[in-house]
Copies of this chain bind each other. A is one copy, B any other.
Amino acid sequence: MMTKEEILQSLAIQTDSKLILVVIDGIGGLPVRGKTELEAAKTPNLDRLAPQSICGLIDPISYGITPGSGPSHLALFGYDPFRYEIGRGVMEALGIGLKLTEEDLTARGNFATVDENGIIVDRRAGRIPTERNREICRFLQKEVREVNGVEVSVHPGKEHRVVLLFRGKGLRDDLTDADPQKDGQKAKGTEGLHPEAQRTADVVNEYLRRATETLKSFHPANTILLRGFSKIPDIPSMSERFKLKPAAIATYPMYRGLARLVGMDILETGETLREEVETLKNHFDQYDFFYIHFKKTDSSGEDGDFKKKVKAIEEIDRVLPSILRLKPDVLVVTGDHSTPAVLKSHSWHPNPILLHSRYLRPDRIRRFTERQCQKGQLGRFPAVDIVALMLANGLKLKKFGA
């Protein structure tokens, strides 16, 4: 029996048609005074496009599941998010723009405070300022660069947070957390979950020993706790899976990193929506699949700022005509997950989706909103199926069976 993934791969063909996937981060919302952010926004361009498109609601993962950016993007890129897992360490590394290879073992970490007996007294080292974090990392990096032939680098995040990168042949990520997750316990090292991981555990523990030695005089940041050991998943590229030549346009490192994981070329771009669309325009001849990511809707949702999210939506609506002028064969507008201002966080609510191409029976819905899209013919479906629909509408799939 073939899986749907295998069948798609066997049907995909390369053609000249151009597909654009517009991801409005955290687009879905919840009503405030009766209207969701999308319903409250003035979106004349999306509203003009919706009745010429087919619409629906996507579940990023499955009913009730609130996804992080990793699984939700994997699904949007056509990868089963239950099958391909992206570890915490990898996500953090991507988030600060590290380019990972198959030899890299990542971990997210905290600077922490231990007493003279090695008991953790503050897991967050008093939330040292980010600037101080950077200084300490610079110093530590100079002192410990390598352990047992494995390259090590420490990268500052915000406040007490760091990302560790171990680079060497044969490193494994089946390791326990080197972090008891609460104060009052002894900082212990990591352990391999299988005998084959022991060598990697030894490297990590030796690093932690030397780092703690080095950090003696940096109280309260006098040790490091590590968790979420992970390597990039063994994931086939979009070109392998779908015969696409894909490119990504995103202002935040994490999304560029996720796109790189599935083999997209990452296009240099600016900080604004206009610059992102300009980048799309400048490279439109060179690729046949574009992922373009708009972030502000999510961050204003996370801030709980309903009005700011409405404004972010309206800003995106204004750049839509420049995208349409490129005349893509298939355009999809959707989100990776909902981020309702009411919840100040990602949520499990489905997202509206609109697909525009020349081969469809338009839905004649009135607006691009959660409740209007729900009336569309795409129905409610999992995000992982979007790419198959895009390929079909771009005439990039052969017939299945005779």
Interface residues in chain A, defined as those with a beta carbon under 8 Å from any beta carbon in chain B: 1-4, 7-8, 11, 30-31, 36, 57, 61-72, 81-83, 85-86, 88, 91-92, 340, 342-343, 345-350, 359-364, 370-371, 374-375, 377-381, 385, 387-393, 397-402
Contact = CB atoms under 8 A, between A and B. Distances in A.
A344 to B, nearest CB: 12
> Chain B CB within 10 Å — which of A4, A61, A379, A385 has the most?
A379
A102 to B, nearest CB: 20
The interface residues of chain A, by DSSP majority, are classed as loop
Given A397-B66, A400-B65, A361 B36 contact: yes
Contacts of A69: 401-402
> Chain B CB within 10 Å — which of A30, A361, A393 has the most?
A361
Contacts of A393: 64
5 contacts: A64-B388, A65-B397, A66-B399, A71-B401, A85-B401
Contacts of A359: 30, 340, 342-343, 347, 349
A361 B349 contact: yes
A1 B64 contact: no
A392 B85 contact: no
A66 B397 CA distance: 8
Nearest to A388: B64
> Chain B CB within 10 Å — which of A1, A2, A66, A362 has the most?
A66
Given A82-B3, A82-B4, A400 B66 contact: yes
A276 B224 CA distance: 56
B57 A392 contact: no
A81 B401 contact: yes
Given A85-B401, A399-B68, A402-B70, A62 B388 contact: yes
Contacts of A67: 399-401
A72 to B, nearest CB: 8
B380 A379 contact: yes
A401 B385 CA distance: 20
A360 B68 contact: no
Contacts of A1: 82-83
Contacts of A8: 65
B392 A64 contact: yes
Contacts of A347: 359, 392
Contacts of A348: 389, 392, 397
A400 B343 contact: no
A360 B34 CA distance: 11
> Chain B CB within 10 Å — which of A1, A390, A398 has the most?
A1
B30 A402 contact: no
Nearest to A370: B361
B377 A377 contact: no
Contacts of A66: 392, 397-400
Given A61-B400, A68-B402, 9 more contacts: A1-B82, A4-B82, A30-B360, A31-B361, A64-B387, A64-B389, A64-B391, A346-B399, A377-B380
A364 to B, nearest CB: 8
Contacts of A62: 4, 385, 388
Contacts of A379: 57, 379-380
